[in-house]
Amino acid sequence: MSSETGKWRIVVLISGSGTNLQALIDAQDTPNLPNARIVHVISNRKAAYGLTRAASANPPISTSYLALQPFLKANPGKNRADYDAEVARLVIRQKPNLVVLAGWMHVLGERFLDVVSGSATLEGEVQVENPIPVINLHPALPGAFAGANGIDRAFEAFQKGEITKSGVMVHRVIKEVDRGEPIIVRDVEIVKGETLEQFEERLHRVEWEIIVQGAAKVLGEYEVVSATIP
């Protein structure tokens, strides 16, 4: 929590239109996400509309753009782990209490997780004292359709009779993709005869709810810890 504002600090990572980011922007410092503010948004796509959403917020939210391929081209000899470290550098400089991956289309590796957890230090940066929790929104139920295109894959599986429902979850980020501890899980029915677009629209509406709930729940754990410290 910032000693200046008395609010929890959130950094959000995005890649696209930013509808999940918008849900967080609308909820910050309200009863749904109390005493919290988004302090920075990072995108790995320059044209991501989420950057515009951040700039248009009241007050405006600062942003950064850092993409993997341009980074590698500009830094011969560097690799994907080095890119993840630079993303971590952008994050820890904001001194956040929480990092939310809201449609971030890049798998962050151990280098990123080691830095934000405080188990590794970047040159020129102060080591993180308290591990920064990282959560991710994934459009599938725990253990199902890990990785990209979860909505399309679930819809296809329904058409084949392999599943009767799908869902969404907010989970903690670990090195195994989409395998971290679930924080919020919500079933989403797939209706026979509906189109992929109709299913996707209903699922997104659930996402907008649970990404806020997940962030609030994790920040609420700080409150419990703070209350138990003598």
Total domains, the chain: 1
Q: Is residue 1 part of a domain?
A: no
Phi, psi of 154 (to 5 degrees): -65, -45
Q: Which two tokens stand for residue 121?
A: 């230090």
Task: Give the three-class secondary structure for 47.
Answer: coil
What span, in angstroms and rounded, lies between the C-alpha atoms of 10 and 219? 9
- The domain spanning residue 213 has which CATH number? 3.40.50.170
User: pLDDT (tens digit, 0 to 9) for every residue of the chain, 230 residues total?
Assistant: 654 568 999 999 999 999 999 999 999 999 999 999 999 999 999 999 999 999 999 999 999 999 999 999 999 999 999 999 999 999 999 999 999 999 999 999 999 999 999 999 998 898 898 999 999 999 999 999 988 899 999 999 999 999 999 999 999 998 888 788 999 999 999 999 999 999 999 999 999 999 999 999 999 986 544 433 33
Q: Is residue 230 part of a domain?
A: no
- Rounded to two decimals, the pTM is 0.92
Complete DSSP assignment for 114-169: HHHHTSS--TTSPPPSSPPPEEEEESS-TTSS-SS-HHHHHHHHHHTTS-SEEEEE
Q: Is residue 121 part of a domain?
A: yes
Active site residues per annotation: 138
Preceding amide of 142 cis, omega within 30: no
Phi, psi of 70 (to 5 degrees): -60, -35
Decide if 126 contacts 37 (C-beta within 8 A).
no
What span, in angstroms and rounded, lies between the C-alpha atoms of 82 and 68? 10
What span, in angstroms and rounded, lies between the C-alpha atoms of 83 and 191? 41
Domain range enclosing 100: 8-225
What span, in angstroms and rounded, lies between the C-alpha atoms of 172 and 141? 14
Decide if 33 contacts 24 (C-beta within 8 A).
yes
Q: Is residue 34 part of a domain?
A: yes
Q: Is residue 2 part of a domain?
A: no
